């Protein structure tokens, strides 16, 4: 098949007829991964004209290629498919171009080829420019939509519309989901190295439909269906690998709940687990809400907890040393299984110091740490003090 007219005379031939070029474009597109031949709009005609005149592409042609590149990006055509389409069009059209088939073309093939290939290079680069401009816009739009979705999901906004929006990210909010929230030495933000590294590492194992990773209020969060709890274990592992020697991180894991509202509850439980771990200086790096239920019960009635702390521990403020050394002694004593020698080792003081402080606490509060019934009240009061920040926070 040729794309020349019958009047090839003298110094060259006239450009091919549009219907012939359209037929060739259709054939080329059918052999190039099925990419639409409409994306070649005008390109073969330009090659045909350049093969005769050797002119550079016009401003209108550059503008058209940029627009075609943008259209391809909007249609979701891969960049490699677009480039393949144009390079294939160039070499397949070459033997049919009027300048190549002209009677005196033999002596002119090298400069013609240079002009054609230069035009192909310009076309491809301009296509890529238009494509990348739209691609960047699409990426920014997707990032913005994803950020907005994550904020609404974990804040519990637009509950009615979240289920439909969640399908875009492969989530079925009717299922029970679990949220893990990680806190590091520095706040996590969208797009930072650690967040990208953890999300990228999870993708080969579970894909995008089994895990949603993002940031919220400085936390790195991971949402996973209850039946895929292995996602959260891998999330913790990848976070540990990404942070390396930094061991200051902690992860709180909520309990499974169904629906969009359930995601908010699980997130709040994960965040609450982090808060409890920090307040109580718990040694674990992974804190599960279901294992901290007793502390959550204490936190639910802050007024009653504050009243208990004030009633039991307020007399400790009256000592010359203040409440904190005595409070720390009680905390270490209960953590060590109520063994004075172990408590002394933890506090780096003598055993006599520990026993003296325990007697002083009994005299001030009326509660003895070695009496099981009274020790329970003391222990709950100590935990309550840590949870509400007493004695630094004024009791009400």
pLDDT 10s digits, 272-307: 999 999 988 888 999 999 988 888 888 888 888 899
307: helix, strand or coil: helix
Residue 396: exposure state from Cβ atoms within 10 A (0-12, 13-18, ≥19)? exposed
Structure confidence at residue 11 (pLDDT): 40
Whole-prediction pTM value?
0.60
Instruction: Compute the distance between CA of residue 29 and CA of residue 39 in angstroms, rounded to an integer.
Output: 9
The 10 Å Cβ neighbour count of residue 14 is: 15
Asked if 249 and 284 count as a contact pair (C-beta separation under 8 A), the reply is no
Asked if 130 and 66 count as a contact pair (C-beta separation under 8 A), the reply is yes
176-183 and 219-225 beta bridge pairing: antiparallel
Q: Give strand pairing partners of 212.
A: 223
Of 1, 37, 35, 38, residue with least CA distance to 16: 1
Asked if 173 and 164 count as a contact pair (C-beta separation under 8 A), the reply is no
Distance set, CA 330 to CA 86, 100, 129, 289 (Å): 77, 95, 68, 25
Asked if 215 and 195 count as a contact pair (C-beta separation under 8 A), the reply is yes
What's the whole-number mean pLDDT along residues 148-176? 83
Binning pLDDT at 50, 70 and 90, where does residue 396 land? very low
Binning pLDDT at 50, 70 and 90, where does residue 165 land? confident
Of 373, 370, 364, residue with least CA distance to 316: 364
Question: pLDDT tens, 75-108?
Answer: 888 887 888 888 888 888 887 788 777 666 666 6
Peptide bond into 391 cis (omega under 30): yes
Asked if 138 and 73 count as a contact pair (C-beta separation under 8 A), the reply is yes
Instruction: Compute the distance between CA of residue 295 and CA of residue 182 in angstroms, rounded to an integer.
Output: 20
Asked if 340 and 330 count as a contact pair (C-beta separation under 8 A), the reply is no
Written as one string, the DSSP assignment of 249-264 is -EEEE---EEHHHHHH
Highest mean pLDDT among 17-26, 56-65, 85-94, 167-176: 56-65
Structure tokens at 214: 């993002």
Question: pLDDT tens, 211-267?
Answer: 889 999 999 999 999 888 789 999 999 999 999 888 899 999 999 999 888 999 999
Instruction: Compute the distance between CA of residue 113 and CA of residue 94 in angstroms, rounded to an integer.
Output: 8
12: helix, strand or coil: strand
Structure tokens at 390: 């007493």
Query: Can you list the alpha helix ranges (DSSP code H) found in the chain?
Result: 18-30, 43-53, 59-75, 79-93, 98-101, 109-155, 159-166, 193-206, 230-243, 259-280, 293-300, 302-313, 323-335, 340-347, 351-365, 372-388
Structure confidence at residue 6 (pLDDT): 31
Distance set, CA 113 to CA 53, 93, 103, 249 (Å): 12, 12, 16, 62
Of 331, 338, 325, residue with least CA distance to 371: 338
């Amino acid at each position: 098949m040729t794309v020349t007219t019958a009047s090839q005379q003298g110094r060259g031939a006239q450009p091919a007829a549009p219907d012939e070029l359209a037929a060739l474009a259709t054939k080329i597109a059918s052999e190039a991964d099925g990419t639409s031949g409409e994306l070649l709009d005008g390109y073969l005609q330009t090659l045909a004209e350049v093969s005769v005149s050797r002119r550079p592409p016009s401003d209108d042609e550059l503008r058209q290629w940029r627009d075609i590149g943008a259209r391809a990006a909007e249609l979701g055509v891969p960049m490699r498919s677009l480039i393949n389409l144009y390079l294939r069009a160039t070499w397949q059209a070459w033997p049919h171009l009027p300048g190549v088939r002209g009677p005196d073309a033999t002596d002119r093939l090298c400069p013609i080829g240079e002009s054609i290939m230069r035009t192909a290079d310009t076309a491809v680069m301009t296509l890529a420019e238009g494509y990348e401009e739209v691609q960047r816009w699409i990426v920014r739009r997707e990032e913005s939509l994803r950020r907005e979705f994550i904020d609404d999901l974990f804040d519990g906004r637009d509950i009615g519309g979240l289920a439909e929006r969640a399908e875009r990210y492969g989530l079925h909010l009717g299922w029970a989901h679990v949220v893990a929230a990680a806190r590091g030495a520095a706040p996590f933000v969208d797009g930072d190295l650690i967040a990208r590294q953890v999300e990228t590492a999870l993708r080969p194992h579970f894909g995008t439909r089994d895990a949603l990773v993002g940031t919220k209020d400085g936390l790195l969060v991971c949402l996973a269906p209850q039946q895929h709890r292995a996602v959260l274990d891998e999330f913790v592992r990848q976070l540990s690998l990404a942070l390396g020697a930094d061991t200051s991180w902690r992860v709180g894991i909520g309990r499974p709940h169904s629906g969009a509202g359930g995601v908010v509850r699980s997130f709040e439980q994960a965040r609450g687990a982090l808060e409890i771990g920090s307040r109580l200086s718990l040694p674990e790096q992974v804190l599960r809400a279901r294992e901290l239920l007793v502390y959550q019960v204490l936190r639910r009635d802050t007024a009653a907890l504050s009243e208990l702390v004030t009633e039991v521990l307020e007399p400790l403020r009256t000592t010359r040393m203040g409440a904190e050394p005595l409070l720390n002694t009680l905390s270490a004593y209960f953590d060590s299984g109520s063994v004075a020698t172990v408590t002394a080792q933890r506090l780096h003081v003598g055993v006599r110091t520990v026993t003296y402080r325990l007697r002083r606490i009994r005299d001030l509060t009326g509660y003895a740490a070695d009496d099981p019934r009274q020790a329970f009240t003391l222990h709950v009061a100590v935990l309550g003090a840590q949870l509400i920040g007493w004695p630094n926070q004024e009791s009400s």
